[in-house]
Amino acid sequence: MKLSRQITVLGSAIFCVVIFSLYLMLDRGQFDQPKSPRREGALPKGQLSILQDKIDHLERLLAENNEIISNIRDSVINLSESVKDGQKNSDSQNFSRGSSSQLEPSAPAFLPINNEDCQFASVTGGHKSNVQMLDVYDILPFDNPDGGVWKQGFDISYDEHEWDNEPLQVFLVPHSHNDPGWLKTFDDYFRDQTQHILNNMVIKLQEDKNRKFMWSEISYFSKWWDGIDNQKKEAVKRLIELEQFEIVTGGWVMPDEATPHYFSLVDQLIEGHQWLEKNLGVKPKSGWAIDPFGHSPTMAYILKSSGLSNMLIQRVHYSIKKYFASKQTLEFFWRQNWDLGHSTDILCHMMPFYSYDVPHTCGPDPKICCQFDFKRLPGSRVSCPWRVPPEVINEGNVQHRAWMILDQYRKKSKLYRTKVLLVPLGDDFRYTDSLEWDQQYENYQKLFSYMNSHPELHVKAQFGTISDYFKALRKAGNVDDPNSQSFPVLSGDFFTYADRDDHYWSGYFTSRPFYKRLERVMESHLRAAEILYSFALVQMNKFDKLQSFPSVEHYKLLTEARRNLGLFQHHDAITGTAKDWVVVDYGTRLFHSLMNLKRVIIDAAHVLVLKDKDTYAYNPSSPFFSMDDVQPSQDSLPQKTVIKITEIPRYLTVYNPTEQERYSVVSVYVSSSKVKVISASGKALKAQISAVWNGDSAPLQDMYQVSFLAYLPALGLAVYKLVEAENSESIKADYTIFVQGKHKNINSDGNFRIKEVNIVVGDVTIENTYLKLWFSSSGLLEKIQSKEDGKTHGVKVDFIWYGTTNNRDKSGAYLFLPDGEAKPYINADPPVVRVTHGSIFSEVVVFFKHLTHTVRLYNVHGLEGQSPEITNVVDIRGEFNREIVMRITSDINSKHRFYTDLNGYQIQPRRTLSKLPIQANVYPMTSMAYIQDDASRLTLHSAQSLGVASSKSGQLEVFLDRRLMQDDNRGLGQGVQDNKITSNLFRLLLEKRFGKDEKEDEKPVSYPSILSHITSMFLNHPVIPMAATSDSGSSVLLNAFLPLTSSMPCDVHLLNLRTIQAKVGPIPSDEAALILHRKGFDCKFSNKDLGLLCSTTQGKVSVHRLFNGFNIESLIPSSLTLMHSSSNSKNTTEIRISTMDIKTFRIKLR
């Protein structure tokens, strides 16, 4: 009893200190809106409103006081129980802080943002770029005149004496581009081609020390490595030491750069680099990306942060290539738009011509260059389209042939600033047979020997790797001299790509959207599994009884999942541009790994949430928890699991994968409509019981949905109980179904009030404390009112179709070639509209022929109540050459500007240009797009990558699915006809803006608000509910598992906590990679009542106050992919991260 009293006093004291601190912070004006220079004059009115806000805030705190005190009383019981338990088992007491799990914190009325954290988004300039891609788009006419032999360029001339004083240095770089799946599956390509290329590489490079070769895809290389003997492995290591063989980039794949999320881009690079470290001890220096369809600065940032110094890109709009060639800016330092210094600069080489094949790499004339692709010698299966074949080089023709190719080399070198020239020599799956190695290397060696022995030619030609080239380029350009201005600085991105005419590659931003969504679901599960597994591994090492936890088996599952997700980032996988059966292979890999990740999650959660670790037993055939949903097959939507409830309480554990505490609505299916949700402290929670529907108007009789608001600790697990019981806190939803003239026989089991109405008369509305939404008679959103200021905005949702052009070239997997403006989506009959009104959420569902469209509004305080959730379940399997689009039309005066994210990492301003066709103004959206004017911003948050456009002021168009009956002549050889029933998920966030920077519209940067960032995070990382299996017996669970002492700062995202492999064997080490990203955010938005349980700290994270129940044994900074750590790296006690940076630390927990 004495202990209880002490705890009560302690709890009350802590509460008083917190309240007093909050008051002091208020008093010091910490919650003021960041000052804008233009507002400093208007003091009195501003001060009054601030004072009023402070008084309101204190009133709210006092009002919440009673509830908090009663919560403290509740939690004392749990605390004393925890302490008693802790006397028996000191290690687990930290995880059962009853006070923290039950004292549901009230979010501050104002978000405590440090003023200095606001500076980043408002600072302009810094080191300005010489080339800003937004300006280039403005300048270019995007015409397409015939350039002669270089069709998309211009005639190149030179003076023969230009190289008299400094000879031309030519690096011929042999390579083979191996797609990990495209026209064949990964395994089929490996069997038929890739293994032979690598086997020949070992033999052929050893024949002559002048020969060079390079490789990028570790997915293939690791598979080959696992099958070769030690003698061959040693030969490869020798070739690497001799610099004859180079690994470039070192990622699992050469990823697409438009559709992947940065989590996956980083993860596949770590997987490749970790494999290299373990097996070869190699650290790539240069990036090589010759085939992704457009290029993102996010990739440049990731490579630079991983310790690479150089990179090469190829697929860039032909007009940009021509413009850069004319200005000699094809080589540049690529700098991030947001970089105020030059820390992100990476030296980048852009290839100048149409393709990376041999006809388009030696110089401007493909007809000549093709004659120097010696695989195409007469008698070969491949020939030159220009009908002039190559000739074997011999004494009789070497002089003439050397002059021919040297002329091409010289012309190509005129497009660059130095006298160092890169000439790639390769194509898809080249060098498969021994003959090709001999044909290419022997004939080129004869040409080089002739050139190099004739000083009057002023050329030095040799085989090289890409790093040989960059080393010579850096020397020639005097790059290491800080005053050198050899190369311009460029900022911006290279979307949307066109390779010829009006053929814009904006179709693949959306192609196969089912798998783009599945990939994002798997990504969030992988991250959740990584984090829980890392914690479980530490726990396992503390308790003898936990030794049966299958750590090695699960580490293999995690590794396989990393690799399957990595494989899917390939530029013909996530893009939706592979053959049907290859898509099935990718989908099957994702599907199997998703199931395995769910196993890791439930097994790790069991370890972490079990109260008495001595009772732990691992039983693979009867897991402790079951997952909330099950996906029956690789191409079907997940189905909710029905939890059987009885009078015996059933545990429901909910995992929060985000690093901020959160209030989230948890919805699960149960077997009875009489259900009570009980918190860990034994309190019945307010819940909504909803019908589960079969179609538009038939409620199922044997399953129901229960929804409740859960408080979830950061990265933690909260425990609830479900029991079958009558309960006044569980309130059933009401339904109105507008049948629009259709006869529906609605057969309710008497559980729900269901009102059938023939047609919509008057307004259909749903609302909560933040918003009121109006819908049209066809059930589509029309208006949104923000209750904060009472202002109503026209925000209309409708659907439209794009067709494909009548020209010879039509839309396909890659290309979007529409037949003009979009046509409205018209349903033959008015759709059935079902309106739900409930205590936790209300929603409007519309049933069209091709899609079911839902707008749901959560009636909860905090983040989830501030934006409606939009779901579309799309089925266009019966359509012919059509693309379906959701269009949002608002009264926001956005003019021709809109903003899309790049890889979920940064925002890129866009301009809809009238000089470009419709398809050119479509851009990739990985996680968000927004439009804004001086007063408002409207953000569409997306839980999958899709194409997006803004064809008129105030509009956003997002592509949902596309079905195309023909190939678009880019090598795939088929259309896109394997459509699935596809679900996509969005949130629509309307925010009020305060103040605007001068010339903001011209700035090349923009940032989401904190609210927007965390909305995106919650959408992409939903909570994971797990029900204890009914026979989990008498196991007692903790009230909660709380791995962090508190929320991390609002602007710091824990990208991953990824257990690192051991040096030997496929087993985990005792280290993990802690990867943190500090996000840039815009402060000019309402700071009031956001319901966020976090603050900002200028990028500082105190290491020893980070984890709860875990001690940090060591924390050592590293490069992004763990490849480099500085020689003086030592234990860090405080983490400091600059805005926008992603930092990796090697962490040991115990």
| Residues belonging to the active site | 291
List the one residue out of 288, 277, 443 whose CA is nearest residue 350: 288
Q: How many residues does the chain have?
A: 1150
Task: Give the start-end residues of each E strand in 993-1086.
Answer: 1024-1028, 1040-1041, 1052-1061, 1068-1078
Q: Are 80 and 5 in contact (CB under 8 A)?
A: no
Distance CA 1096, CA 1013 (A): 13
Note the helical H segments in 549-682: 551-568, 580-609
Distance CA 401, CA 446 (A): 10
Q: Are 1106 and 1115 in contact (CB under 8 A)?
A: no
List the one residue out of 118, 114, 105, 53 whose CA is nearest residue 862: 105
Torsions phi, psi for 193 (to 5 deg): -130, -60
DSSP assigned state of 993? B
Q: Are 976 and 961 in contact (CB under 8 A)?
A: no
Distance CA 1095, CA 498 (A): 44
Q: Are strands 730-732 and 687-694 parallel, antiparallel or unpaired?
A: parallel
List the one residue out of 67, 56, 53, 51 whose CA is nearest residue 15: 67
C-alpha distances in Å from residue 568, one per residue of 449, 520, 858: 44, 11, 34
- The token pair that represents 223 in the structure block: 């598979």
- The token pair that represents 107 in the structure block: 């979010």
- The token pair that represents 951 in the structure block: 């064809």
List the one residue out of 1009, 1014, 981 whose CA is nearest residue 994: 1009
Distance CA 944, CA 927 (A): 7
- The token pair that represents 961 in the structure block: 């699915």
Q: Are strands 734-738 and 698-712 parallel, antiparallel or unpaired?
A: unpaired
List the one residue out of 1107, 1012, 1114 whose CA is nearest residue 716: 1107
C-alpha distances in Å from residue 472, one per residue of 109, 309, 405, 469, 947: 59, 13, 21, 5, 40
DSSP 141-210: -------TTSTTS------GGGGSSSPEEEEEEEEEE--SSSSS-HHHHIIIIIHHHHHHHHHHHHH-TT
Scored b (16 or more CB within 10 A) or e, 1009-1020 reads bbbbbbbbbbbb
Distance CA 857, CA 774 (A): 12
Distance CA 383, CA 412 (A): 24
DSSP assigned state of 726? -
Q: Are 717 and 605 in contact (CB under 8 A)?
A: yes
DSSP assigned state of 856? E
Q: Are 125 and 1005 in contact (CB under 8 A)?
A: no
For residue 1112, list its beta bridge partners. Answer: 1149
Q: Are 547 and 288 in contact (CB under 8 A)?
A: no
Distance CA 680, CA 682 (A): 5
Q: Which residue type, as a one-letter code, is found at position 1061?
A: Q
Strand order in the sheet with 489-491: 131-132, 489-491, 331-334, 346-350, 310-313, 286-289
Q: Are 939 and 930 in contact (CB under 8 A)?
A: yes
Q: Are 432 and 196 in contact (CB under 8 A)?
A: yes
